Amino acid sequence: MPFIKLLILDVDGVLTGGELPYDAGGNSFKSFHVQDGGAVRLWQNSGGLVAVISGRLSPAVEARARELGIEHVAQGVTDKQPAYETFLQRAGVTDPETSVVGDDFLDIPLMRRCGYSIAVANALPLVKRSARYVTRRRGGQGAIAEAVERLMRLNGTWSDAVRKWTSNPR
């Protein structure tokens, strides 16, 4: 398997639990898992790149991406392939060097193209069948932390990264 350099994440159902809560004023909000954020940082500190592609628009996603230092964010896209291609080009990576984590129909075309596809535990059955790995944890409940560990173990970077992180966290 090629070394994975770019991790592309869906949002609703992957970084979040998939719920779309609204307040009385019609404003939506999202909840993110702290372990996923820590894993994204660990991935980045080990030289990995992260991008987010979401079918919906949300200021919360922009804020979370900014907080985690994720520069490549595309929101409100129903066809995710153009954003995928743009991110690969910007990162200077190829399909085999990319991993996509998804849960819904819109993620399948990217999962079929990338080098290592991952579905979260709460993904649709067809998405799970399109994945090389299915997490035990659900989206919004640490699935990204599990996916990052899996990728870093496959890349052979997990042990060194954890040792460095736990002795000198950034």
For 63-120, write each residue's pLDDT tens digit.
Answer: 999 999 999 999 999 999 999 999 999 999 999 999 999 999 999 999 999 999 999 9
Q: Model-level pTM?
A: 0.94
Query: According to the model, what pLDDT value does residue 72 have?
Result: 96
Q: Which residue has the higher pLDDT, 31 or 20?
A: 31
Is pLDDT larger for residue 21 or for residue 147?
Answer: 147
Q: What's the chain's Rg over C-alpha atoms? A: 15
- Other CB atoms within a 10 A radius of the CB of residue 81 amount to 13
Q: What is the mean pLDDT of the chain?
A: 94
- Nearest in space to 53 (alpha carbons), one of 112, 3, 119, 100: 100
**Domains of the chain and CATH, by start:** 6-167 (3.40.50.1000)
Is the model's pLDDT at 170 over the cut of 60? no
